[in-house]
Structure 1
Amino acid sequence: MILANADLVLPDRVMRGALRFEGEMIAEMTEGENVPPGAVDCGGDLVIPGLIELHTDNLERHMRPRPQVDWPHETAILAHDGELASVGITTVFDALRVGSIYGSSKGYAPYALALVNEINGLTARQATRISHFIHLRAEICSETLVEEMEAFGEDHRVRLVSLMDHTPGQRQFRDITKLEEYEKGKHGLSDAQFEAHVARLMELRARIGDRHEHEAVRIAQKLSATLASHDDTTAEQVGVSATHGVQLAEFPTTVEAARASHAAGIKVIMGAPNLIRGGSHSGNVAAEELARADLLDILSSDYIPSSLLMAAFRLADIWDDLPRAIATVTATPADATGLTDRGRIGEGLRADLVRLRPTGQTPHVRGVWCKGRQVG
């Protein structure tokens, strides 16, 4: 397979040239507009590395398309997989909650291990279009966190663990009215149910939160997973994250926390929807503000898969640097999670590629390849 006469987005420049890939790997890269016999003439379209998504809740939307509606998991996983392939994502870290609350009005029950086995089973059967890894979202305010995490082993492909502390009144929901809007809107909680939910979370954090945090870090190390913090707000919280060995700061809520993360050598992830919408739906710091302050390293589509590519091009406009912007959704997330075989265009690397044509505010995907196989 040869893609020729394309603008190849390399780590440091954009080069008109051609790519030849054999099997799963890029075999050769040449410069120039020449179109060899049998090659695909890209006509100047951009070719970038396949996108790498570290934190997405998209699978949950396919599993539960309406409140109280549970969809068959295999169908949901494959629909999620196909949607990601269609927007240029070739590697995904499926974010799954671990840590449940018995008798919760929100219906929280353990589900991650069984779902991971289903995802990995489909991958083993080569039923998925793209590469799937597991991201465990460790809920500190829960009752079952340790026993759920202990059930995972090296074969489960857990490469990322994030510490999720949703204690009301701090981090993402410092403003409890924002939490109330979110919980009532998403889960339909009544006033009494919301008050009980807040009280329960506060009690759990006070009683076993510190132990859960310590155990989540220990188990992440045992699984050789990259460790992430979530919604750090203050420099003090970032300092705690650094002592845990955190390497990624997911969605810091303030400039202070983002700056402290950089000072500690922690990469900052921000949501692509935040950048596209012009701000956070929770009232926290805007991704664009961090981008203009050079405090943004990685983008995540979070809950809208198509936002990842759109936001990368928005960053290219802000920074006037397309290779740097594309790296936030390719090379940098690959490096942060130890994926040395992808995230860049180069000989000997995986043929995870996206052909696209920038059109207005929305880049149009014209072809997606994962391990050399066209999947979109």
Structure 2
Amino acid sequence: MLSLVGGRVLLEDGTIGETDIHIEGGLISGIDDTRSNGKSAWNVRGYLVLPAVIDLHGDAFERQIMPRPGVHFPLDLALQETDSQMISNGISTAFYGITYSWEPGLRGRDTAVELLDALDTIRPHLVCDTRVHLRWETYNTPGADDVAEWIETGRIDLLAFNDHLDMIQNALTNPQKLAKYASRSGLSTDAFIQLVGDVAARKNEVDAHTARLAKIAERYDIPCASHDDESPEMRGQYHKLGVSICEFPVNAETARFSIANGDPVIMGAPNVLRGGSHCNRLCAATAAREGLCSILTSDYYYPALLRAPFKLAADGVTDFATAWHMVSKNPAHAAGLEDRGTLSKGQRADIVVIDDSNPNCVRVIATFVAGKPVYMFDAGYRMCA
């Protein structure tokens, strides 16, 4: 048994109160200021005590695998390093955004299979509750059977429908962008151009495979997201298929349509920190101000997810509790993880303790996953009688 004593706790009703959290058996056994003998206690007075972060979409691990074009490192090393980075940023539940594209190389079938196998092997040694968000490129129709099998065998926890073909086709006339995509795939530029043409010819196959995979995911209670929705009409088609999450909508109209239909909207935390989209799309802070953002994810930069709620609150975009729900309560609900995301009795003791004395540079003091302290910035002097 363990108690966190005297922290400023984000309570289930959205208020922050100074109280104690008691942990037993990996769960929160109580929230009050009464203590009993036999408990270990940590003095966390002055610190914020929050439900730990749940990241539904993070693909920054790709940089641990291939930090430079053509430079690869072993997957076990890359995944362990990613795990360490996440817990130091308060992330307790992590969905690895593994892309299964028609491109070979970093986002091709071989890498996807290697990553799934590596996660199966190393998961018991990782600290985060590690899950898979498979990002299936819809023009990868030959891979649909693989995706169906992975769903049926329990290897996928969230399925996203991606279509980046138009973006890549538009880049073919830009030598720099073409070289980037060709390098990532391991192909020459001429071979990559030929591949894009061959893939575009599959257009008439896409809708049927998308509908089939959405139906299989629904059968196995796997939540699904549509990625980079360009219009309410596009989002509406996915909504009809039971795809309940709108991920990175291109514009406010699409986000508004999703919210109106009861589907949560995911935006990127880096978008919040940078003050806008890196590709000139919907601004996450603007969306949050207008009630069009339900969930924030790390996207391509893990540290952003911890800090974005503080920025939203400091800038007056929303109150702090609402902002923090975007990285805890709301993603838990969207992913069907009803055992976490809030600090309340009976919930998993996934907790982050934060020093917010400098609002512009908040620091994680400790991260707990299922009641275990897995990261401590300054552990020694925090123990108390």
Unaligned runs of 5+ in 1: none
Offset of 1:177 from its aligned partner? 8.2
**1:292 paired residue number:** 289
| Inter-partner Cα distance in structure 1 for 2:256 and 2:173 | 25
Aligned-partner residue type, residue 71 of structure 1: F
Within 5 Å, give how 1:174-323 maps onto structure 2: 184-185=179-180, 187-188=182-183, 192=190, 195-196=193-194, 198-204=196-202, 206-317=203-314, 318-323=316-321
How far 1:202 sits from its partner (Å)? 2.7
Report the residue type matching 1:74 in the other structure: D
What's the CA shift string for 1:260-306, capped at 9, x where partnerless?
A: 11111110000011111111111211111111111010000001100
Counterpart of 1:142 in structure 2 is: 140
- Please give the residue correspondences for 1:65-76 in structure 2 after superposition, counting only pairs within 5 Å: 65-76=67-78
Q: Contact conserved, 1:163 with 1:216, CA < 8 A, in 2?
A: no
Q: Which moved more, 1:345-354 or 1:63-72?
A: 63-72
Aligned 1:330-349 pairs, distance under 5 A: 330-349=328-347
Partners of 2:173 and 2:20 lie apart in 1 by 50
Structure 2 equivalent of residue 64 of structure 1: 66
Equivalent residue number for residue 168 of structure 1: 166
Cα distance in 1 for residues equivalent to 2:350 and 2:77: 24
How far apart in 1 are the matches of 2:44 and 2:107?
A: 50
User: C-alpha separation between the residues in 1 aligned to 2:173 and 2:271?
Assistant: 16
The match for 1:90 among 92, 95, 101 is 92
Q: How does 1:353-368 map to 2 (within 5 A)?
A: 353-358=351-356, 359-368=358-367
SS of 1:340 mapped into structure 2: coil
- Range 188-197 or range 76-85, more displaced: 188-197
Q: Separation in 1 of the partners of 2:119 and 2:16?
A: 36
**CA spacing shift, 1:162–1:179, aligned 2, 3 Å:** farther
The CA distance in 1 between the partners of 2:345 and 2:173, in whole Å, is 48
SS at match of 2:257: helix
User: Structure 1 residues 288, 107: closer, same or farther in 2, change over 3 A?
Assistant: closer
Secondary structure of 1:144's counterpart equals: helix
CA contact (8 A) 2:310 2:359 kept: no
CA contact (8 A) 2:148 2:213 kept: no
Contact 1:145 1:212 in 2 (8 A): no
Q: Percent identity, please.
A: 30
Q: State the partner residue of 1:119.
A: 119
Report whether the alignment pairs 1:100 with 2:91: no
Q: Deviations over 1:46-94 (max 9, x none)?
A: 0001100001112222122221122111111111111111100000111
Using the alignment, how far apart are the partners of 2:30 and 2:18 within structure 1?
Answer: 14
Contact persistence 2:226–2:247 (CA under 8 A): yes
CA deviation profile, 1:230-253 (whole Å, cap 9, x unmatched):
001111111101101111111001
How far off its partner does 1:215 sit? 2.6
Question: Using the alignment, how far apart are the partners of 1:165 and 1:16 within structure 2?
Answer: 47
Aligned length: 368
How far does residue 219 in structure 1 lie from its aligned partner after superposition?
2.9
Q: Which runs of 5+ in 2 are unaligned?
A: 376-385
TM-fit CA distance, 1:360: 3.1
Structure 2 letter corresponding to 1:22? E
2:288, 2:318 within 8 Å by CA — same for their partners in 1?
Answer: no
Work out the CA distance in 2 between the residues paired with 1:279 and 1:81: 27
* Residue type of the alignment partner of 1:375: V
How far, CA to CA, are the matches of 2:284 and 2:174 in structure 1?
20
- Asked if 1:9 corresponds to 2:7, the answer is no
User: CA offset at residue 332 of structure 1?
Assistant: 0.4
Q: Identify if the C-alpha distance between structure 1 residues 179 and 237 changes in structure 2 by more than 3 Å, giving closer, same or farther.
A: farther
Q: Please tell me the residue identity of whatever aligns with 1:218.
A: K
Aligned equivalents of 1:187, 1:361: Cα separation in 2: 39
Cα displacement (A) at 1:329: 0.3
The 3-state SS of whatever aligns with 1:135 is strand
SS at match of 1:168: helix
Q: Distance in 2 between matches of 1:337 and 1:369?
A: 20
Q: CA deviation at 1:186?
A: 5.9
Query: What one-letter code is carried by the residue in structure 2 that aligns with 1:66?
Result: R
Q: Distance in 1 between matches of 2:144 and 2:32?
A: 51
